[in-house]
A and B are shown apart, each in its own frame.
Chain A
Amino acid sequence: MIPVEHILLLSAALFTLGVLGVMLRRNVIVIFMSIELMLNAVNLSFVTFARGMDSMTGVIFIFFIIVVAAAEAVVGLSIILSIFRTRKTLNIDEFNILKW
């Protein structure tokens, strides 16, 4: 059994990497992947706490989080697709107007 603190530290590190990716990268799809990374870090700490507390609620939560993440990925990617059709770029700095 791995100690709880180690897994929580790993989860914190993954979350920080996701935050850093959102702030540093300029490609929309890479930013999107960093968001997925953050969601996974939170999932990891959910499972850890569920195991540590002998509870099943965390695992049920993970189920819902994964479903919401899948829905979010589908809708977000289709939004990116439709933006790319009009702007012909993936650079997030170019997406600076809300109307075109």
Chain B
Amino acid sequence: MGGLGVLFLRNPIHCALSLVGTFFCLGAIYVMLNAEFVAVIQVLVYAGAIMVLFLFVLMLLSSKDTDQYANKWPIGKILAGLLSLGIFVQIASLFTAGNIQLGPKGAYPLEVVEEVGSIALIGRLLFTDYILSFEIIAVLLLVAVIGAVVIAKRRFP
């Protein structure tokens, strides 16, 4: 996968572009999993909005120091590699033990989703069962916008 590029490319802009590629691949996987809404959101919000924001800040900031800051501590690299290898082995052994207990089937098998349409279903759920979380997330977005403006402002008058 293109996620390796995020890790190993020197130039941060190349990292960001390979991350966009990874997000597109994830969107394709979501389509294969019959989650069209998530795929659309993924491409629009992640590959579109968030990565444009990242690239914008990168171009704005990295005028002179685009080169990689060297990690001064080689033992730290080895330690990080071992630690993340341990994390991967843990998660993978959890998943590949062959006994994933998926639990009882929910109320929305593939036929129902295909019949009603996944976006209609999500919208209905969002405005009935999850209405409180929906309102809270709206307030959170407002707070984030105001907070970003306040933090990024140059000086308080």
Give the contact-size bracket for chain A. 35 or more
- Evaluate whether A29 and B58 lie within 8 angstroms (CB atoms) in the complex, with A52-B102, A74-B145 already known: yes
- Cβ–Cβ contact A27 & B92, under 8 A: no
Interface of B is mostly: helix
- Evaluate whether A36 and B57 lie within 8 angstroms (CB atoms) in the complex, with A47-B35, A82-B152 already known: no
- Cβ–Cβ contact B84 & A53, under 8 A: no
- Cβ–Cβ contact B65 & A17, under 8 A: no
- Cβ–Cβ contact B151 & A33, under 8 A: no
Interface of A is mostly: helix
How far is it, in angstroms, between the C-alpha of A14 and the C-alpha of B23 when the chains are bound?
Answer: 11
- Cβ–Cβ contact A33 & B80, under 8 A: no
State which residues 99-157 of B face A: CB under 8 Å: 100, 102-110, 113, 118, 121-122, 125-126, 130, 133, 137, 140-141, 143-145, 147-149, 151-152, 154
Q: How many inter-chain contacts with C-beta < 8 Å in the A-B complex?
A: 215
Contact partners of A78 in chain B: CB under 8 A: 147-149, 151-152
State which residues 31-65 of A face B: CB under 8 Å: 32-34, 36-37, 40, 43-44, 47-57, 59-60, 62-64
How far is it, in angstroms, between the C-alpha of A85 and the C-alpha of B87 when the chains are bound?
Answer: 36
- Cβ–Cβ contact A34 & B6, under 8 A: yes
Contact partners of B57 in chain A: CB under 8 A: 29, 77, 80-81
Type the 1/0 row for B1-37, where 1 means its CB is closer than 8 Å to any CB of A. Answer: 1011011000010011001001100100110111101
Q: How many residues of B contact A (CB 8 A)?
A: 82
- Cβ–Cβ contact B32 & A2, under 8 A: yes
Contact partners of A81 in chain B: CB under 8 A: 57, 60-61, 151-152
- Cβ–Cβ contact B12 & A54, under 8 A: no
Q: 17 pairs across A/B with beta carbons < 8 Å? A: A2-B32, A9-B92, A16-B91, A33-B19, A40-B46, A44-B29, A44-B30, A56-B122, A56-B125, A60-B126, A60-B130, A62-B35, A62-B41, A68-B140, A74-B145, A78-B151, A82-B152
Known: A12-B92, A24-B80, A59-B118. 9 other contacts (CB 8 A): A19-B83, A19-B84, A33-B54, A37-B6, A55-B106, A56-B113, A63-B126, A70-B141, A81-B60
